[in-house]
Homo-oligomer: A and B are copies of this chain.
Amino acid sequence: MKVARTIKSVRQLVIAARGNGEKIGLVPTMGALHEGHRSLIMRSVKAGNFTVVSVFVNPTQFGPREDFNKYPRPIRDDLKICRDTGVNVVFVPTAKEIYSGGTVTWVEVEKMSKPMCGQFRPGHFRGVATVCAKLFNIVQPDVAYFGQKDAQQAAIIKRMVADLNFPLKIVVCPTVRAADGLALSSRNRYLSTQQRRDATCIYRSLAAAREMIKAGVKAPKTIAGRMRKILEKAGSLTGVDYISVVNPDTLEEMKHVEGKVLIAVAARIGSTRLIDNLIVDADRR
C-alpha cells in the first residue's frame, strides 16, 4: 500500500495502474474510519478495482461553529484499516495541497442542497460537491463509493455526476449499524455512555416509520409526529433538526407516501449532531 500526500503523486500511481489495465475505485472519506467505511472499501476491493481511499477532513464543508477542529483524525488507525482491507493507495493531502491558491470556484447543486441538512448547515453541500469534483478530477476513478447513511450527500453527488457528465459511476452502499441499530458514524465517539444508549432513539424512530408505511400510513405528518415522540423520550436529546419524508432522488417533500420514500432524521444528542435514514418502498408491503 502506498501513501500519497500530493496530487502529483496520487495521479502518478493511478496513471500507472490504469496503464496496467486496472479499473480505479475511489472511496472518499474524512478518515476516522469505521465499519461503514470498511464496507465501502471492501466493495471496491472485491470488485477488483485498484482502490484509492482519500482521507481528508475538508474545511470547506464545515460551518464556522461546527466541529472541524475537534473532528477525529486517528490517521494511524485509518492506515491500518486500509492496509488490512487491501487498499492500493491512501491519499492523505493537506488542506494547502487541496486548496493551494484558495478557491474561488464552487460547484453548487441547487435545490437539493437547500432542504434537510442544508437548512442547518449553510454552505455544507457546496463544500462537499466542490471537494468531490476536485477528488474526481485528481483521481479520475471509474467508480466512487459513498454510504447511504449520508443520504442527502449521496443524492447530491449522484446528481452532480449526472449534471456535469463526470465519466464515472457512483455506488451507494448500505448503512452499517451497531447491533442496537445505531448507524455507525465517526461522530459517535463524541457520545458518553448514557448518550450512546439514548442515541438508539434515532434508529427506533426510523424503524417505527417503516412499520407505519408498511401498515399503509400515507400521511408524512402522521409518520413524523410518531417519530418525534419516540425521539423526545430520549433523555439526552437536545433537539431535532428535521424529520423528512422525501423522494430519495430529488429530495422533494412528499405530500402523500408512495413508491420509494426516504425517511431522514437529524437530531442532537447532547452537543453531538447525528443523522440517519431509511429508504422504504411503500408499494411493497
Contact = CB atoms under 8 A, between A and B. Distances in A.
Interface of A: 7, 11, 101, 103-112, 129-130, 133-134, 137-138, 140, 159-160, 162-167
B7 A165 contact: yes
A104 to B, nearest CB: 5
A163 B109 contact: no
B163 A137 contact: no
Number of identical monomers bound together in the oligomeric complex: 2
A285 B166 CA distance: 46
Contacts of A130: 164
B162 A137 contact: no
A259 to B, nearest CB: 18
Given A101-B162, A105-B107, A105-B164, 20 more contacts: A7-B165, A101-B163, A103-B163, A104-B109, A104-B111, A104-B112, A104-B163, A105-B110, A105-B159, A105-B160, A105-B163, A106-B110, A107-B107, A107-B164, A108-B108, A133-B164, A137-B164, A137-B167, A138-B165, A138-B167
A213 to B, nearest CB: 27
Nearest to A101: B162
A14 to B, nearest CB: 10
A113 to B, nearest CB: 9
Contacts of A129: 105
Q: Name the 10 nearest CB pairs between A and B, nearest first.
A: A105-B163, A137-B165, A103-B163, A104-B110, A105-B109, A134-B165, A138-B165, A105-B160, A104-B111, A106-B108
Contacts of A104: 109-112, 159, 163
A174 to B, nearest CB: 26
Contacts of A103: 163
A138 B162 CA distance: 11
16 contacts: A103-B163, A104-B110, A104-B111, A105-B108, A105-B109, A105-B159, A105-B160, A106-B107, A107-B164, A108-B108, A130-B164, A134-B163, A137-B164, A138-B165, A138-B167, A140-B167
A163 B133 CA distance: 10
Contacts of A140: 167
A234 to B, nearest CB: 36
